[in-house]
Structure 1
């Protein structure tokens, strides 16, 4: 029977795994419900591979603790190694525990770098049309590929021959003890930290220079700064393995699972956040609507005015662009100034607008209303879905805009 500590860790492993599944399901729900299956991109496919790797890594951590009792080929003196019977159960547990550690570390590294690739593809779509961003993305592809390959080389070449990583007697040396290997632990931590810094350097300057309101800018800065939290967990993992590894070899499994969970949640946050934002906005909008209907008893809707032709229940696509403006849209594009050489990225899907009175206003390039817009011209069209209420002394309006990742001005 596993000890109380082992049982607590087993519950933690599967609790974190279940939460990770929920976060990924919410990610795909957000993509499907707003833009349909055609909106799926390469980062969604990479996330599927990442969750498979996360499941396998959690299984390895479970086996290390529940099946192999946290034992490996370390935390033994030379006398203990020489006295251990190769036919004993402890020998069997230590050999298989070491093999499971080897597999778990490879899966841990693969998962982290899959999530980095997911971030990179997302940033490529996010910064489409922004000057010089394609160079950062291409450099990021090279950096991620090189660092992942180097981590795998360390995992396979730090101990030659490879099977010495589960050797018991004689002592194979620290490099061949996968649970506490100093070389592999420090190298992966350094590569992980450097790549996280690079990935955060892609969106943060763009968000900082944007013309978004400070409240929304702060939300984006926090969202894209999650790499700092991941780096903190990576450093904690490294310190715990190097300081407690010989006392408790399962430390590698403990912190690998925790860091992986944090990385999965942070990587999916930009996709999951709009669901909670829309839920909150709908609640606030409903509250304002009730307050308006109860307070303005003498007002009436424009659609109910005599001689006013009302066209209710229509749904329109919202296309809004403005020079020197930055918007975060349902396809996570950054809109930049044309005069700076950028290009305007349009939505690939329609926003799910409420059934209210729809008023169309067309502006030409000079900003004069009344211009005509075609499918290929350079004019800007604003479709504002608004329900107006007119009273004797004031005119009030309420509007709702829906769409994942769209931060209203």
Structure 2
């Protein structure tokens, strides 16, 4: 059946967002497996969230090919139940997909912290998201009697007031919005105290606080929840479907950006290395330090932090010093270059702060 009404728009936007989610999933997987070599549970959960979004898009595409996006009176009566059924299955993937995306972010933050109170502060909203997603799905599918009335409201004797579905939708949506704001602000409590350059901290924190944009789409989605119970469901639910898809897509993009920072920085380093390949007046060790400084990073070598001020104020090493420190400096540069945000932990900073040295004293 040819898509009509808002169907082509819904399908086009959702597949565009699905491509974006897949793109960031590929970038994240490559970064974690090849560059950082630190593939973990949060990456697996991120991939699962992407698959859930793709399934959401597939079922909405099937629903739109039957009649979703049109007014009820424009669709043959025989096509209304399958239209609603496929969209309901797609929304189920969306309910769990958004919660899983929040779990990916939460598990990512767990790799940053080491104190028990910080871990508890992360686990609480994750558990809350898990519980509300289960309840929302249960209220969605078991809120009507018989269950078939969920997608065929024309059944004689059916009614959909068994469970308070609409209040549950608002609770679920509010929980996701709260979680977005919570995880956007939470990193500022401990990352700001780390022994990093101020500019570097601001970049990391801003990239990890992009979840506020997902919260904005979550608020818009909550404002359209009434469309889920409208008699003209296949038309009235278009906005809530799109806002739900946008919320999950933006969530995954915001999670992927900070995790892929080592990939961005590697690309920058390669570009800088090509531009400076003809400069032969700088020794190997100090060229590494210079390149590192140009991209706004730092090179750590056995507790020593080499930055622009270090290069400016410290003396050039002698031949003996250069021989002793070349291998460690280069190793420190390569290791730090590919560090992702999850490797900048409070535990590591606490352990290394006591052993830090003054570069001018060697």
TM norm structure 1: 0.64
Query: Which residue does 1:150 correspond to in 2?
Result: 135
Q: Which residue of 2 aligns with 1:226?
A: 210
Q: Hey, what's the Cα distance between the residues in 2 that align with 1:223 and 1:101?
A: 33
Q: Please, which runs of 5 or more residues in structure 2 have no aligned partner? A: 286-317
Map residues 105-120 of structure 1 onto 2, 5 A cutoff.
Answer: 105-120=91-106
Q: Deviations over 1:15-49 (max 9, x none)?
A: 2212221111111111122244xx32111221222
Largest Rg, 1 or 2:
1
**Shift of residue 70 of structure 1?**
3.0
Residue in structure 2 matched with residue 332 of structure 1 by the alignment: 342
> Which structure has greater strand proportion?
1
Q: Tell whether the 8 Å contact from 1:223 to 1:270 is kept in structure 2 after alignment.
A: yes
Corresponding residue of 2:268: 280
C-alpha distance after superposition, 1:107-146 (max 9, x if no partner)? 111101111111111111111x346323223434433333
> Are the equivalent residues in 1 in contact too, given 2:21–2:249 (CA < 8 A)?
yes
Q: Name 2:12's counterpart in structure 1.
A: 11
Say whether 1:139 aligns with 2:124.
yes
Q: Aligned ranges for residues 165-184 of structure 1 at < 5 Å?
A: 165-169=150-154, 182-184=166-168
- Equivalent in the alignment of 1:251: 239
- Note if contact 1:189-1:238 (Cα within 8 Å) is conserved in structure 2: yes
Deviations 1:359-392 (A, max 9, x none): xxxxx958489xxxxxxxxxxxx9xxxxxxxxxx
Asked whether the equivalents of residues 120 and 141 of structure 1 are also in contact (C-alpha less than 8 Å), the reply is yes
Deviation by residue 1:136-170 (Cα, 9 ceiling, x = unmatched): 23434433333333323332343343222123336
Q: Measure how far apart 1:57 and its partner are.
A: 0.4
**8 Å Cα contact 1:69-1:93 kept in structure 2:** no
SS at match of 2:343: coil
Counterpart CA distance in 2 for 1:121 and 1:302 is: 39
What is residue 125 of structure 1 aligned with on the other side?
A: 111
What is aligned with 1:360?
A: none
Deviations 1:192-232 (A, max 9, x none): 11222333343221123334333222222222222211111
The structure 2 residue matched to 1:96, chosen from 48, 68, 82, is 82
Matched residue SS, 1:126? coil
Mapped partners of 2:352, 2:161: distance in 1: 52
- Are 1:204 and 2:226 matched, yes or no? no
CA distance in 1 between counterparts of 2:97 and 2:256 reads: 14
Question: Could you tell me which of 166, 178, 202 is aligned with 1:194?
Answer: 178
Q: CA RMSD in A?
A: 4.1
Match of 2:252 in 1: 264
Report the alpha carbon displacement of residue 337 of structure 1 after superposing the two structures with TM: 7.4
Q: Structure 1 residues 158-167 or 3-12, which shifts more?
A: 3-12
State how far apart, in whole Å, the 2-side matches of 1:264 and 1:168 are. 35
Q: Distance in 2 between matches of 1:302 and 1:12?
A: 50
Which of 210, 220, 223 is 1:236 aligned to? Answer: 220
Change beyond 3 A, Cα 1:184–1:257: same
Instruction: Name the structure 2 match of 1:377.
Output: none
Aligned residues: 318
Q: State the TM-score, normalizing by the size of structure 2.
A: 0.72
